[in-house]
Structure 1
Amino acid sequence: MTVSAPTAGPTVHVAAAGSALPGAPVDNASLAASLGVNEEWIDHFIGTRTRHFARDLATGEVRWSLADLCAEAASQAMECAGTDPADIEFIVLGTATPDHLMPATVNEVADRLGLDQLPTYQLQSGCAGAVQALALAHTFISSGTHRTGLAIGGDVCTKHLDLRRDLSSAAPGDLVNCVLFGDGAGAAVIGADPGERPVVLRRTLNRCTGLGRSPGQIIDWFGLADRHDQRQALTEDYKAIESSVPAMAVEILWELLDELGWSADDLDFLLPPQLSGRMTRLITERLGLPNAREISCVADTGNNGNALPFLQLQQLMKEIAAGQKALAVAVESSKWIKAGFALEGL
């Protein structure tokens, strides 16, 4: 079952959300000067204005780990929800860029939060990992197994990029990765008890649809045997992504609406896929929901992977009112995963 179905168990609430973005925003002028590329190309082709890096752009020094960012986002979410850390019964983290293969980053996050003797789960995935974390949290709460937990998503993408090399003659497919991504984390307190502004997590969707298709994105690990290999750590087929993601987003939208029994006119908010500023605009136009207010952040945060749905959720939580409905769409191009979730204010 890939779409969470109604249950007789507790209603699942999003009590609050939090986020963490490392350092000051890096604008296109600064990034272009550092990489030796054209600022206008970034403005027009990517459409992202700023992004945040866990590494210092000038020195390459790593200043924040993924665990640092996830712990900060989770602490903010708990504080906003008024949730005592002792009440947290589980943690789920979705990421494509863990700090280590072992120990799992989710356990480092638990340690920073002062949490012990609780189940922890780390889901290895790209943009869909955030939705997978919400889906697993939904299952725990709706089944009555737990009452309160943390769903977290985050990525430190710059660990896979050499931001100090001269890219003035790089191929567009290589260059796009250095200007598309950013770093960050987000988190949400998920529980059976409504917060001060009750928001219900009605549905989650997560489905791999890449049978027989080449991956649209690959992130490689390098061990001792292949650390001197000249292949890139991060590669993607941007043309395939640009072609496939808008169509997949439409399919996700209507699948969720059908499962919920909602019409397009019922939606008050749309949280579209956050690939880049330019792609988000194109996808939103393709979805064709003029009455739904768009909640987007990628133009200011860069594509920080699994943090993005939580950053959108945090903004939504400030705006959604009783009786209003919201739908989020996420597409992961690594192996073409459809993902999304639906929320309703009470």
Structure 2
Amino acid sequence: MIVRSQVIGCGSYLPERLVSNAELAAMVDTSDDWIVERSGIRQRYLAADGEMTSDLAFAAASRALESAGISGSAVDLIVLATATPDHTFPATATKVQRRIGMKHGFAFDVQAVCSGFVYALSIADNFIKTGQIQTALVIGAETFSRILDWNDRTTCVLFGDGAGAVVLRANRGKGGSQDRGILSTHLHSDGTHHDLLYVDGGPSSTQTVGHLRMEGREVFRHAVINLASVVGEALAANDLKASDIDWVVPHQANRRIIEGTAKKLGFPMERMVMTVEKHANTSAASIPLALTEAVSDGRIRPGQLVLLEAMGGGFTWGSALIRI
């Protein structure tokens, strides 16, 4: 028998304020056509004044726990992926821990930008597989609107705020690809590309939050190559073909990146879960937001094979193969 980390619940949260491309066009030199053509984005949600990453994370976590049918007191571990924490310290995860009533175990943040949720999932999975914990809450939550330069039309139109979460629980199976749970995770990083996607601030450098800076064309080129590679790695590790995968839930950065990756790997677009049009790029929150939507509307069903993949600043990138 082998221990797998089974997804037993998922949940998401979006702020109330919906901002259309037309509203942004009144603020910066852009247009709905320009944004849609280059990214596929039509709208995004922005956190309200005073609404913090921990608030979004708590809301998504509460819904995931409700979906799983358990209380916060049953959770042994919280791993919260975010590039926009409430404070430099303590970890935003510990604020969620307090609010869900988790009195034992431990909680911490992970920073891998848009790949953060896959990183967090991998960490929680390893704690479960080694027997150190039984139940984990994995969250991706961002308030990216707080680090955007609203005068830079090439970046401010691409991002939004939101949160998503999954509950993992130890499940004993036979060890084959038919077991429900996380089958494998694959993580990578390459620090030589720092200047292509970064934030120009931080407590150690400028003592300011800073703003997001990006070389879009170069990021696009690396994204398609790296994502195709790490998806191929997941398939090879499990002796599977692209046709064996029921659904791909990619990081929702840009429609063209998703299409390029699908084409390179031979995945039909009908099996790619797409929410970028409605949510924009919510960084670490994008995969759990998309996953929750596809589970909620019935597309993703128990027993299906689901492949997650993401790339973010650093560069970081990774994939996870799950039988739901």
Separation in structure 2 between the aligned mates of residue 151 and residue 247 of structure 1, nearest angstrom: 27
Distance verdict in 2 for CA 1:278–1:263, change over 3 Å: closer
Task: Decide whether aligned partners of structure 1 residues 144 and 38 sit closer, same or farther in structure 2, where only a CA change above 3 A counts.
Answer: same
Give the fraction of aligned pairs with identical amino acids, expressed as a percent. Answer: 30
C-alpha change, 1:291 and 1:300, in structure 2 (3 Å) is closer
Structure 1 equivalent of residue 35 of structure 2: 42
The correspondence for 2:147, drawn from 143, 160, 169, is 160
Specify the code of the residue in structure 2 equivalent to 1:105: T
- Displacement after TM superposition at 1:245 (Å): 0.7
90-99 or 312-321, which deviates more? 312-321
Distance 1:131 1:267 in 2: 18
1:233 to 1:330, Cα distance in 2 relative to 1, 3 A: same
CA change 1:281–1:116 in 2 (3 A) is same
Q: Matches of residues 167-316 of structure 1 in structure 2 within 5 Å?
A: 167=151, 174-193=152-171, 199-208=180-189, 210=190, 212-223=192-203, 226=206, 233-290=211-268, 293-316=271-294
Match in the other structure for 1:321: 301
Structure 2 residue 11 is the aligned partner of structure 1 residue 10 = no
Q: Which structure has more strand as a fraction of its residues?
A: 2
Residue 337 (str. 1) matches residue 316 (str. 2): yes
Q: How many residues align?
A: 316
Shifted more, 285-294 versus 68-77: the winner is: 285-294
Distance 1:252 1:203 in 2: 12
Letter in 2 for 1:243: R
Return the alpha-carbon distance in structure 2 between the equivalents of residues 224 and 214 of structure 1: 16
Shift of 1:292: 6.3
Name the structure 2 match of 1:26.
19
1:283 counterpart letter in structure 2: T
Q: Is the CA contact (8 Å cut-off) linking 2:149 and 2:212 kept in structure 1?
A: no
- In the alignment, the residues of structure 2 paired with residue 38 and residue 108 of structure 1 have an alpha-carbon distance, to the nearest angstrom, of 39
| Contact kept in structure 2, 1:52 and 1:182, CA below 8 Å | yes
CA contact (8 A) 1:267 1:292 kept: no
Cross-structure match for 1:58: none
Distance 1:9 1:83, change over 3 A: same
Equivalent residue of 1:12, what SS? strand
What amino acid sits opposite 2:182 in the alignment?
Answer: L
Quick check: 1:272–1:284 contact (8 Å CA) kept in 2?
A: no
Decide which of 83, 90, 96 is 1:96's aligned counterpart. Answer: 83
CA change 1:145–1:292 in 2 (3 A) is: farther
Partner Cα separation in structure 2 for residue 113 and residue 322 of structure 1: 27
1:84 matched to 2:71: yes
- Flag the structure with larger Rg: 1
Query: Among 52, 70, 85, which residue is 2:57 paired with?
Result: 70
Q: 1:20 to 1:321 in 2, by over 3 A?
A: closer
Between 278-287 and 296-305, the greater mean CA deviation after superposition: 278-287
Q: Which amino acid aligns with 2:274?
A: S
In structure 1, what is the Cα distance between the partners aligned to 2:58 and 2:194?
35
Q: Provide the TM-score with structure 2 as the length reference.
A: 0.90
Over 3 Å counting, the alpha-carbon distance change for 1:280 and 1:221 in structure 2 is same
Structure 2 unaligned blocks of 5 or more: 173-178
Farther-moved stretch of structure 1 (282-291 vs 265-274): 282-291
5+ residue gaps, structure 1, are 1-7, 56-61, 168-173
Cα distance in 2 for partners of 1:212, 1:102 equals 27
How far apart in 2 are the matches of 1:291 and 1:68?
34
**Residues 279-299 of structure 1, C-alpha deviations (whole Å, 9 max, x = no match):** 333333333212861112111
